[in-house]
Amino acid sequence: MFQALLWQLPLAAALWPKPHIYTTGSTTVVVNPSTYSFQAVATTPELEDAFVRYRSLFFPHSTSPAPQALDAGLVVDIFDTKADLILGADESYTLDINLDGTSVVAAKTVWGALRALESLSQLVDFNFSTGQYSFSGIPVHIEDAPRFPHRGILIDSGRHFESVPQVKAFLDSMAYAKMNVLHWHLTEDESFPIASRSFPELPQKGAYSDFEQYTWEDIAEVVKYARMRGIRVIPEFDMPGHSTSWRNSHPEIFAEGCLSQSSRGAFDPANNQTFSFLEAALKDWSALFPDGFLHLGSDEVPASCWNNTKDLAWMKTMGFSNSSDVFNYFVNQMAGISQKLGRQTIFWDEAFLSAKPPQDAVIQNWHDASLMQKIVDAGYRAIYSSNGGYTNGWYLDGLKATWENMYVLEPLTNISSDKAHLVIGGEGCMWGETVDPSDLEFTVWPRAAAIAERLWSDPSANSTAEAEPRLQRFRCQLLARGVHSGVVGGQGRDAPPGPGSCVQKPKVLAQGEQSVFI
């Protein structure tokens, strides 16, 4: 019964994420894919690239058009063709599908036009019995815009290397859900995969292997690929902890208390060479990552590394009484370097809890969600990523966190109306301890789609019962487009229980029973 109801949904009512305003009619028109045109009143390289890409998404099956098929097409009108891809770039659009089969998109920027193309692609229907493409429920009118400007997913190439083809495929899947930020956690204790022109020894001695590294050109290619899909790439270089792989080639900038191979390292703030080295490295990479934001981590610092004779003596000369003072010094030194490089800094919430970063810093909340209110009340901008104890948050590596739990979480809970603008959005975090290219998409999707809709759609869209049929359809579309999505329902990485449709659910576990996929 559920499957039958799913396919009876009007396509405009099945869009994911849910548009803010849409109206439908009752007419169906058949269109000719061979003559369907993509036109722009004024164009950009990103739009021309999207026209080519979306033609195959609109019309994935070869077919012979019926005599009644209309020679229709799409016209896109962009108001500002020079608008850059930045935080807060206008992604609004209107979309009309008319009775003659033509579609008209109006958008202030190309980034809004890309979101409209994705919506339109989800409205094209193919009838396998007749072999025809059609639009149903027309005329269709949609007015849409994202609720939050920052809608991201973190991937972790420091713990498991994610190949360039995998990252590109993942960017495609993000665009299907209208996500617009790839938070790329690039370096870790375990490995250092990214090329450095200033310090080539960093990946040479820090990567897992010669095979598991990104060249300079690889990174540039990924950043360009993301831009063509309206996705910003924000690199994260976690520090002063989570940095042990740097120590393989440059132990001189690490605290003496943690130099043994068995210990996690931490950069040494007592050594001025540390900051000149990091500035040179970051300046080098700033040419690769044009985005105005730089993530400098700051989480889970092994502060005991600074409990050594050299650093304790330096702390005394600086008037520092404890490791929190040292951490605060490091955070502000790095924020200053980031500002010098023309970047705004994002820190994990330890920088708020145990330091006082500059007021223009952005704090990413990964601890308890209640911290969001304290962050914005202190005047900082915030990104919502609470782990929710790995069962009720937006940490995608928490396999017991269901899409339903993720869907109902609200980034603005207990945030006053005068502070709401400081919450710039949120991210689903796919940490890489147990994820590599073999199961990245399978772990992320479809649960991340719940996060995508929460960040895009009106807050009134909060019913899991209403959302489930649409999410089932979206999951089927992901699979049709080659995205390795898990099933809707159950836990992360749960597989289909047996033969069945793309809408089937995983086995319901008895109380206390563990999924074999965890």
Tokens 């195959």, located at residue: 56
- Would you say 366 and 391 are in contact if contact means Cβ atoms under 8 Å apart? no
DSSP letter string, 414-454: T--TTTGGGEEEEEEEE--TT--TTTHHHHHTTHHHHHHHH
User: Which residue in the list 201, 252, 300, 433 is annotated as catalytic?
Assistant: 300
Residue 65 identity (one-letter amino acid): P
Give CA–CA dist 251/266, Å, rounded. Answer: 10
CA 173, 175, 176, 179 torsion-angle sign:
positive
Give CA–CA dist 123/232, Å, rounded. Answer: 26
The closest alpha carbon to 351, from 330, 369, 370, belongs to: 330
Give CA–CA dist 487/447, Å, rounded. Answer: 9
- Strand 344-348 to strand 293-297: parallel, antiparallel, or no bridges (unpaired)? parallel
418-455 in b/e form (b: 16+ CB < 10 A) is ebeebbbbbbbbbbbeebeeebbbbbbbbbbbbbbbbb
Annotation marks residue 350 as catalytic: no
Q: Where are the beta strands (DSSP E) in 331-437?
A: 344-348, 362-365, 381-384, 423-430
Give CA–CA dist 118/126, Å, rounded. Answer: 16
The secondary element (H helix, E strand) that includes residue 95 is: strand 93-97
What is the number of residues in the chain?
A: 518
- Would you say 453 and 16 are in contact if contact means Cβ atoms under 8 Å apart? yes
Give CA–CA dist 391/121, Å, rounded. Answer: 33
Secondary structure of residue 126 in the 3-state scheme:
strand
The closest alpha carbon to 407, from 441, 373, 455, 370, belongs to: 455
**Distance (Å) of CA 367 to CA 374, 424, 434:** 12, 17, 21
Give CA–CA dist 398/60, Å, rounded. Answer: 35
253-272 in b/e form (b: 16+ CB < 10 A) is bbbbbbeeeebbbbbbbbbe
- Strand 27-31 to strand 93-97: parallel, antiparallel, or no bridges (unpaired)? unpaired
Active site positions, annotated? 300
